[in-house]
Amino acid sequence: MADALRSVDLVIFDCDGVIADSEVISANLLVRQLLAHDIRIDAEYVFRHFVGKSFPVVADIIGERFGIALPPTFVSDYRAALRQAFADSLQTTPGFLDVLGQLTCRACVATSSSAPRVAHTLEAIGLTDHFGADVFTASQVANGKPAPDLFLFAAREMATPPERCLVIEDSVAGIEAGLGAGMNVWRYVGASHIADAARARAETPAGVTVFDDWDRFYVLAPELRM
């Protein structure tokens, strides 16, 4: 049973896998890029081990885990290829725009992605103007998710007490960050990279509401709807 939702003045959305249905695109590209360096993993491996982490951290983990020194241009090459892939095919998660259009309180984005990547993501799905400057990244804090720093920073910038924030996350690391910040936390498991919603529910900390369809958002929080 999830905890009752406390009063909310700000919804903090993660980006990849919550706003943008981007994780499959990102994972498949990473698999192809790593194959050129004789590292063979699949998209499921990426989903299980890397979702919620910044890409430089992911690159460091890959180098250590597989005992290979990736070239200095690996991160920049990946990001350039990802920008093109996003421009070609990225979409929002199904139903997200309807939820966003009816939200009565303020909203912002807090993501482990780099500032350039989240900018390209929001541009590709047409949400740059909607969020404006209310987009915060791990590069602005000392410690990324699962540390609470990013969400606490976003709340301060938006002049909102943590206990009056609702975090929407897809990753376990993000959930831990939101809980550590003392915020309401819900887990969205409706993006295309989550093939097993039951497993996702099972691995979600107790007390965190889990939903797999944006149509459920205002069923769970009708007070946030126009």
pLDDT band at 3 (very low <50, low <70, confident <90, very high): low
- Tell me, what's the pLDDT at 140? 96
- Domain topology for 10-22+90-224: Rossmann fold (3.40.50)
* Distances in whole angstroms, Cα of residue 198 to Cα of each of 53, 189, 191, 209: 23, 9, 14, 13
163 contact partners, CB below 8 Å, separation of at least 6: 6, 182, 183, 184
Separation between Cα atoms, residue 11 and residue 226, nearest integer Å: 15
Per-residue pLDDT of 55-113, as tens digits, reads 788 888 998 999 988 898 998 898 899 999 999 999 999 999 999 999 999 999 999 98
Say whether 172 sits in a helix, a strand or coil.
Answer: helix
CATH number of 23-89: 1.10.150.240
pTM attached to this predicted model? 0.87
pLDDT band at 4 (very low <50, low <70, confident <90, very high): low
Per-residue pLDDT of 142-195, as tens digits, reads 999 999 999 999 999 999 999 999 999 999 999 999 999 999 999 999 998 888
CB 90 within 8 A of CB 120: no
Separation between Cα atoms, residue 46 and residue 28, nearest integer Å: 9
Per-residue pLDDT of 105-135, as tens digits, reads 999 999 998 899 899 999 999 999 999 999 9
Separation between Cα atoms, residue 38 and residue 153, nearest integer Å: 39
Is the pLDDT confidence value at 212 over 60?
Answer: yes
Per-residue pLDDT of 16-64, as tens digits, reads 999 999 989 999 999 999 999 999 999 999 988 888 777 788 888 998 9
Spell out the domain ranges in the chain. Answer: 10-22+90-224, 23-89
